[in-house]
Copies of this chain bind each other. A is one copy, B any other.
Amino acid sequence: MYSFRNDYSEGAHPRILNALMETNLEQEAGYGADRFTREAVEFLKGKMGQADVDVHLLSGGTQTNLIAISAFLRPYEAAISASTGHIFTHETGAIEATGHKILSVETSDGKLTTAHIEGVLEAHTDEHMVKPRLVYISNSTEIGSIYYKNELEELSACCRENNLLLFMDGARLGSALCSEESDLSLSDLPKLVDAFYIGGTKNGALIGEALVICREALQEDFRFHMKQKGALLAKGRLLGIQFRELFRDDLFFELALHANKMAGLIRDEISSVGFKFLTHSPSNQIFPILPNSLIAKLEGKYGFYVWEKINSEHSAIRLVTSWATKEEAVLAFIEDMKRELD
């Protein structure tokens, strides 16, 4: 059975494993003070065209979100998130466990707008309520949608006017930036958000997210937060070597383009046979709405999640592609689907 369940079913891109092999016996300093990490950070800053950001390599998305957000907020400050936001629903209350409330808003497409933010601000007026201070967005979102440049610029302006921090969860940032529809590039981000992270785990690495802290006031003493939360790896080289490999040329982007291309193949075929989608998702996650009978047949040969019941006869499923998705598997899936429809 071939799995489209997620983008972390396989190991790492072979170039990454090779890099681990080649450097394996070099002695290096621990806890992120190794030369591989230094080089990775330099490559990343180069790609961003921004020298005055801080870059830290961490193990995973939940870890990155909880350390960054709890480092940025004072105890009574809260984060604003879409109700579909990963921190709100799928991180076991990790943010609340650091003491901070998440103020959720309902959205149609997983994306926050200035209207959402202003609504939250209006409802929070004094010290009997938490103080909204950070806006959490995901790009791509948890339901595959992406932010366009003008949307992000509006959010950014709104945050600055209201003394809010703007934080972007980039677990799938590669796929978002490499979407055919995207008009954002990596170098735009440091100008528009206060901090964001670049997901490695879901784009070819074994493990690793690169947190970029753009706002200087948030940079101080960040390694203390990391150590206190258990995120400083003794062999920080493991992260450094991987991000060095992903960003010393354009491997990171190539892998995301492949994932998007594979999703696009499926999306186009599903559209062409007339099915709709739960949401407009020009990235590596798609959510077609299919007849339950078809879903049952596909489930025999392919792995995926049934995401949401739509009505008594249809459900939305989630299909995810990745750097490792094989085109032949995609073609087989399409063929099988069409055959079942005949």
Contact = CB atoms under 8 A, between A and B. Distances in A.
A233 interface: yes
A128 B29 CA distance: 14
B232 A62 contact: yes
A interface SS class:
loop
A129 interface: yes
A75 B228 contact: yes
A91 B230 CA distance: 8
Nearest to A6: B30
Interface stretch (A149-157, A190-198, A218-226, A268-276): A218-226
Given A11-B24, A26-B10, A234-B201, A97 B229 contact: yes
B20 A90 contact: no
B233 A92 contact: no
A20 B26 contact: no
A93 interface: yes
Contacts of A66: 229-230
Contact of A234 (B8, B91, B130): B8
Contacts of A293: none
A291 interface: no
Nearest to A230: B63
A31 B28 CA distance: 29
B9 A91 contact: no
8 contacts: A12-B20, A12-B24, A17-B24, A59-B230, A76-B227, A78-B93, A97-B100, A97-B228
Given A92-B228, A202-B234, 9 more contacts: A10-B25, A11-B24, A11-B26, A76-B227, A78-B93, A91-B228, A96-B96, A127-B227, A201-B233
